[in-house]
Amino acid sequence: MIFNSRRSPILSTRGMVASSQPLATQAGIEILRQGGNAADAAVATAAALNITEPTSTGIGGDMFALYYDAKTKQVTALNGSGRAPQELTIERIKKDGLFNEQRLEIGDFFHAHNITVPGACAGWVDLIKQHGSMPMKEILKPAIRLGEEGFPVSPITAYFWNRGVERFQLHRRGRAMTIDGRAPKAGELFKNPDLAKTFRIVAEGGSESFYKGEIGKKIIETIRKYGGVMTEGDLANHVSTWDEPISTTYRGVRVWECPPNGQGLAALMALNILEEYDLKSLDPLSPERLHLIVESLRLAFADTRWYVADPKFNPAPLMRLLSKHYASERRKIINTQYATLDTKRGSPVAGSDTVYFCVVDGQGNACSFIISNYMGFGTGIVPEGCGFTLQNRGHNFSLDPNHPNALAPNKRPYTTIIPGMMTRDDGSLFAPFGVMGGFMQPQGHAQVVINMIDDGLDPQAALDRPRICLEPGAADGRVALEEGISAETVSTLKNMGHDTYSVSGHARSLFGRGQIILNQNGVLWGGSDPRADGCAFGV
């Protein structure tokens, strides 16, 4: 008989970090104990996660962050995602025989054409310039130490590392990410001196040393080796952007997300639709409540899979999409008794493999931070001597030239990674939160917000509750139901017209891995997802 253990929330008053890897959480705590703030600890945690969980994240990927300033009670949004190379076009994809006519996407998930400029490094540096208080030399020390001295690989990370060696051809494209061509085993020590060296270079020279120095040259050499077209100019021209965050209110709590090209819009639209239903009166795992959540997500994705794109090229009508009036109109489509599988995008008129973590410091500042290679190791391509893989975020472009998210030079793709934040009516911090995992992310955001606001659960209990996932973030997708949802509920949802299936074991990674830190009267309540190896810890 298997004992189903449970976690209690972690409580503290002087700061907290919650991440999917205990050693990365400790890296952030180390910086907080040295007097660093939430931004400093966030970058330290991100770098440590690159060392300890390269299966999901790294400096070769992208990042987004929401930052809450306790003094001003303002939330700022940092977009650290990269752009397509200047020479990459739909015609070039066709010429290279990579045009998938059926799905209108790049036919090979792991080809170098999927690599957009890695924006994470610039994002780290820009976050510290805007909100940080410590030099990068100090912030990156814990990660450098882990890379040089090594760390014991956690069980879940070891599982996905092993699965990724063949899938991402790490034995050939990224041998430095293996031990003699194989994945490290659980409990086995793994060192990454190449990545530690990369971090030392960035600590000394800032982001310019990454994009315009020797690291950048190695990135371009490697991409060109594998058939890509990125140039040193593409790297040199990269910049992060500080954007106006988007938000909506849900039962009196303001929920914040980064704007497009991220998909946080989907979470806010789903919550707007759900707000008028009395979810509290329904059992949390009942078919009646899960049906409403699924249908609201269908409507949200029907819109966002069209409207979310690089706003420099195709700005979305955000105010109209987020209006309560538009939510009311979309809500009319929902049949409370039966699934609506042919949901179409609306026309508003005037009237979500990644790591997520969050930090709150002793002054009440908070950072909600997400960083990703996209599909695990991304492309699995490792620049020689650098110790990190390059992302495949460009696979999210559409190859339909008439689509707002169509591939174009210097354009950012639809990005799944989204951090979340909640504040109260008076502007005080309620909680930084997030759930990683491709198109699961806005779905996870909506579900943990409902768990906390409608049901009053603490962060750990909100993350423990079984989740649903509409696949693959499409209006007509199948519905995955996590173990813990009763067979009766599964059967009822099938009878309502949902194409459902149950998920258990390691496949539960489909439902994402979340972190939450609740600020309640000066006491921090932390929760860390049981679907990962991580933990929350306080100062």
H or E segment at 218?
Answer: helix 214-225
| DSSP letters spanning 187-207 | T-EE--HHHHHHHHHHHHHHH
- Among candidates 345, 332, 287, 295, which has minimal Cα distance to 470? 295
- Among candidates 511, 419, 448, which has minimal Cα distance to 253? 448
Q: List 529's β-bridge partners, or say none.
A: none
Radius of gyration of the chain from Cα atoms? 22
Tokens 């979810």 found at: 279
Alpha-carbon gap, residue 412 to 82, rounded angstroms: 6
Task: Mark 497-511 as b/e (b = at least 16 C-beta within 10 Å).
Answer: ebebeebeeeebbbb
Amino acid found at 407: L
Tell me how many helices (H) and strands (E) the chain has: 18, 21
Amino acid found at 352: S
The answer to whether 40 and 132 have CB atoms below 8 angstroms apart is yes
Residues in the chain: 539
The token pair at 272 is 């707007």
The token pair at 327 is 């939510």
| DSSP one-letter code for 375 | S
Omega cis (within 30) before 472: yes
The answer to whether 517 and 6 have CB atoms below 8 angstroms apart is no
The answer to whether 262 and 318 have CB atoms below 8 angstroms apart is no
SS3 state of residue 250: strand
H or E segment at 19?
Answer: strand 15-19
H or E segment at 149?
Answer: helix 141-149
Alpha-carbon gap, residue 357 to 42, rounded angstroms: 8
Cα dist from 258 to 66, 98, 246, 264, 369, whole Å? 7, 31, 6, 6, 11
Task: Mark 202-230 as b/e (b = at least 16 C-beta within 10 Å).
Answer: bbeebbebbbebebbebbbebbeebebbb
Q: List 417's β-bridge partners, or say none.
A: none
The answer to whether 361 and 41 have CB atoms below 8 angstroms apart is yes
Pick the catalytic residue from 25, 52, 354, 416: 354
Task: Mark 302-335 as b/e (b = at least 16 C-beta within 10 Å).
Answer: bbbbbbbbbbeebebebebbbbeebbebbbeebe
354 catalytic per annotation:
yes
- Cite the active site residues: 354
